[in-house]
Amino acid sequence: MNEVARPAGPSHAEVDASTALTRIAFVASEAPDALQAQGRLAARYGTVPAEDADVVVALGGDGFMLQTLHRFRDSGTPIYGMNRGSVGFLMNSFREEDLPARIAASQRVVIHPLMMEATDIKGRQHRAWAINEVSLIRQSYQAAKLRIAIDGKVRMEELICDGVLVATPAGSTAYNLSAQGPILPIGTPLLAVTPISAFRPRRWRGALVPDRARVDIAVMEFEKRPVNATADHFEVRDVVAVRARLDANSSMTMLVDRDHSIEERILAEQFG
């Protein structure tokens, strides 16, 4: 993650518009377009270290936006993303003009992440947070064999598959959608439990569970059928059990343009 530290202070044309948010930090991915944009914006509007900012402007793609949201989890600092990557579903469109006014007029979206608690084959405990999804994926040519319980009650005694994921509304248009899972509007009090290439039961397409539910996934025959677990970018290999639940005590804040809201992006994804 790249940051430019220069004296704070807007350029001549942006003095009045930027008074609502006096301290802006620009962070960028390693992509050349993102780094170049970071330099131009810092020169135009001034910048401060990210830890001292009122708002952080993230320049890159969705992956970089996820990294930035994780970095500032529970800090209270809002993140305004601008697309300098490829897909950019979580990002606002890139435009250099009137940035302080865009930020001031933007809509705040508060995201509560999933917390993954995973136990590996050696009994070690691992904890990580996910904005998009917690996923379990087979590690070898052998299909995974999983058991799924919701709030302590077994709902799927045996699922033979390539894997399974638990997705938040924010992540429902990512890996979940590629696995034929449902799209969940932001604010929907649900989680999607979606199989990845289910073999048995072949017709099972997943389930929607309340976002207050605790999802426990046990790996059966784990020595013969090794499985890894991932919470966004954090991966644990050779897991035997994984618990995923929404962490209502943790949050990140995104800023999105009102004329291109998350709700509008989800509708466009479904009808596009």
User: How many whole angstroms separate alpha carbon 205 and alpha carbon 148?
Assistant: 14
Asked if 143 and 245 count as a contact pair (C-beta separation under 8 A), the reply is: no
User: How many whole angstroms separate alpha carbon 73 and alpha carbon 115?
Assistant: 12
168 labelled ligand-binding: no
Mean pLDDT of the chain: 89
Catalytic, out of 16, 33, 52, 62 = 62
Q: Is 33 a catalytic residue?
A: no
pLDDT in tens, 52-79: 999 999 999 999 999 999 999 999 999 9
| Other CB atoms within 10 Å distance of the CB of residue 1 | 13
Kindly tell me if the per-residue pLDDT of 137 is higher than 50. Answer: yes
229 labelled ligand-binding: no
Asked if 110 and 251 count as a contact pair (C-beta separation under 8 A), the reply is: yes
> Residue 204 to residues 93, 111, 137: CA-CA distances in angstroms?
38, 29, 17
**Would you place residue 272 in the very low, low, confident or very high pLDDT band (cuts 50, 70, 90)?**
low
Residue 128's SS3 state is: strand
Considering only 24-33, 79-88, 144-153, which range has the smallest mean pLDDT?
79-88
What pLDDT, on the 0 to 100 scale, is given for residue 7?
Answer: 35
pLDDT in tens, 163-191: 999 999 989 988 999 999 999 988 889 99
Structure tokens, 106: 């933007």
Residue the block writes with tokens 């910048």: 47
74 labelled ligand-binding: no
What pLDDT, on the 0 to 100 scale, is given for residue 87?
Answer: 73
133 labelled ligand-binding: yes
What pLDDT, on the 0 to 100 scale, is given for residue 8?
Answer: 37
What pLDDT, on the 0 to 100 scale, is given for residue 203?
Answer: 86
Question: pTM of the predicted model, to two decimals?
Answer: 0.83
Asked if 147 and 211 count as a contact pair (C-beta separation under 8 A), the reply is: no
